[in-house]
Amino acid sequence: MQPEAGRRPLSGAALREANLQFYEILWSGARLVPPERFNSWRLVRDLAARHVRRLEVAPGLRPRLPIPGTSFVDLSLAPLRPLRAAGGLVIRGLVTDLPLATAAFDLVCALDIVEHVDDDIAAFSELSRVSAPGATLLLSVPLHPEAWTAFDDMVGHHRRYEPAQLLARLAEAGFQLRRSAIFGMQPRNQRLVDFGMRYLERHRSRAMWWYNRVFMPLGLRFARPLQVVEGLVGLAGVDTVLLVCEKRTTAL
């Protein structure tokens, strides 16, 4: 579950600090995007209607769950005030050490986060701990270590997952896969990724402005409808997958 041979991803405190710096800058210049604007909304809306006790981990200013009444945990300070103002219940924390009670939630959302942490076993363990028996987990991760690009470095990834290893992590944490979908907004054009990297390195604040004010709105507008299937979607050539899982009610 590591980057391609020859790359040495950051780890430990260095990884955490790099992610914190990147996303504090990103969110400090961003506006809160309501979850209704994402192609995940139809799926989320139906789940949220059945689950009052809801948690989203590391949403930034792009939450997917309904904001009023939902608990949000994020390491970055910048998103917490806007989420609170919109009716969310916010607290600062890490996915590897959630400051929340055990079995407190029936719907847990952790999109694009476990690939950012050094200790993903602890992350999956914490997501399981705060999930009540029978709870639904929405999880998204990037796939295929051989597909590692400069984009992964840019956004602070520590790993990409092999599908079998990802399913093993979920099973070890007590989750069963129910449904899945192709997910994510990473550019497919490698030249565009390389240009973005160079621009980000030289003009970070300006690059963040363009992302927040231009590329993100365009991505939302032209995003394809989310096609959710039973079981595991075909993953050949898929960059990011969204999994809908259920917390087992009894131990294996």
Helices (H), 105-189: 120-129, 150-155, 163-172
At residue 23, the pLDDT reads 79
CA dist 39 and 88 (Å) reads 21
Asked whether residue 195 is domain-assigned, the answer is no
More reliable by pLDDT, 211 or 169: 169
Residues of the chain above pLDDT 90, percent: 65
Asked whether residue 7 is domain-assigned, the answer is no
Asked whether residue 242 is domain-assigned, the answer is yes
Q: What is the pTM of this model?
A: 0.84
Asked whether residue 56 is domain-assigned, the answer is yes
Average pLDDT on 127-155 reads 92
Let me know the angle formed at the C-alpha of 108 by 105 and 109, rounded to the nearest 5 degrees.
160
Average pLDDT on 86-97 reads 96
CA dist 77 and 61 (Å) reads 11
Query: Could you tell me the CATH number of the domain that includes residue 236?
Result: 3.40.50.150
Asked whether residue 114 is domain-assigned, the answer is yes
Give the number of domains in the chain.
1
Asked whether residue 212 is domain-assigned, the answer is no
Asked whether residue 197 is domain-assigned, the answer is no
For residue 151, the enclosing domain spans 12-186+225-247
CA dist 211 and 186 (Å) reads 12
Asked whether residue 19 is domain-assigned, the answer is yes
At residue 111, the pLDDT reads 97
The model's pLDDT over 101-128, given as tens digits with 9 standing for 90+, comes to 999 999 999 999 999 999 999 999 999 9
